[in-house]
Amino acid sequence: MGVGRNNKRFMSDINVTPLVDVMLVLLIIFMVAAPMMIQGVDVNLPKTAAKNIKTQEDPLILTINKKGEIFLENLAVPAEALEGKIQKIFQNRREKEILLRADKEVSYGFVIDVIARVKQAGIDKLGMVTEPLD
């Protein structure tokens, strides 16, 4: 007769509640941390009403700050060496596209000089980054 037997069965279901709790905490952490991950050189961009640029590859970011310093991504580059650096970067890339971020305090002539150097380096597409109007 089974006097000493226990008729309880083991539960084989996964308890999802701790998993959901952990996932929600991670989601909140990433939502708070994502805006802090934006890297680059600080510039005060002009505000315009323009459409977004759609790109296939990640474009190279060329930044001109308020002091007139030129940066390729986060690397400072003198104006004289800009053409050579751009040509070396785009040797093996199919899409030759650069996005220009220039501070609104930089003189127009300097920005045009940088654009001319970029065009001389053989870049097909040059986009200008601005901030949207409020």
Would you state the structure tokens that stand for residue 66, as one six-digit string? 């308020």
Distance CA 102, CA 81 (A): 18
pLDDT in tens, 26-71: 999 988 888 776 666 666 666 666 666 565 567 788 999 988 899 9
The model's pLDDT over 103-123, given as tens digits with 9 standing for 90+, comes to 888 998 999 999 999 999 888
Percentage, residues of the chain above pLDDT 90: 22
What is the token pair recorded at 44? 């005060």
Q: Is the pLDDT at 3 greater than 60, yes or no? A: no
DSSP one-letter string for 51-67? PPPP-SSPPEEEEE-TT
Give the type of residue at 47.
K
Give the pLDDT of residue 22.
93
CB 63 within 8 A of CB 41: yes
Per-residue model confidence (pLDDT) at position 123: 85
Task: Go through the domains of the chain in sequence order and give each one's CATH number.
Answer: 47-132 (3.30.420.270)
Q: At 127, is the pLDDT very low, low, confident or very high (cuts 50, 70, 90)?
A: confident
pLDDT: is 6 or 125 the higher one? 125
- CB of 123 closer than 8 Å to CB of 86: yes
Strand partners of residue 77: 70
Could you tell me the pTM of the whole model?
0.60
Distance CA 46, CA 66 (A): 12
